[in-house]
Amino acid sequence: MASGLPDYYRGVDIAYQALAQVTNRPKYGGALELYGSVVVTANFTTGLAEVSGKGMIYGGLVYLDPTATQASGIPGVIVDGNVIAGITFTRMNKYNVSKSWAYPLYLLSYDDVNFVYSCAASYGITFESSFKLVYNEAEGATPRVYYDFVYALI
């Protein structure tokens, strides 16, 4: 008596390379937004936001209230407890760190006359347990720092 699957049914034989191509992507959930603002402490590093989980950053913005110079300010990203980005606005401007993917945070605007500073996060920063946004203030002021990030969790 016949048994089993019909002859015309064939499972995928990976070793045989039965498929011309395979699309493989991690199962990310929908994009989530993380935004807010913090009046940071002068001459200290202040934590802005933290996500515990596994996922990827799609992009993000950090911008400051134009109240005082923040040329030496440092927006930073800490992934899984490791600092992966943190250079001053001045240095980003001096060396033109203004292209996406050149650095985890890249410069969008730098105007030390009108005190306009902003940077963005590059696409694709993955994290296995957490990511954290911080800001290091080094000019003795207390600016309000805004952040707006988009990310997804696995």
66: three-class secondary structure by DSSP: coil
Contact status: 35 vs another protein (CB under 8 A): yes
Contact status: 136 vs another protein (CB under 8 A): yes
Contact status: 52 vs another protein (CB under 8 A): yes
- Which uninterrupted H or E stretch holds 93? helix 89-94
Q: CA-CA distance, 140 to 112, in Å (whole number)?
A: 15
| Cβ contacts of 40 within 8 Å, gap of 6 or more | 46, 135, 137, 142, 143, 144, 145
Q: Tokens at residue 148, please?
A: 């707006």
Contact status: 130 vs another protein (CB under 8 A): yes
Contact status: 153 vs another protein (CB under 8 A): yes
Considering the complex, state which of residue 110 and residue 148 has its C-beta at the smaller distance from another protein. Answer: 148
Rounded to a whole number of angstroms, the minimum distance from the CB of residue 52 to another protein is 4
Instruction: Return residues touching another protein (CB under 8 A).
Output: 29-30, 32, 34-39, 41, 44-55, 83, 128-130, 132, 134, 136, 153-154
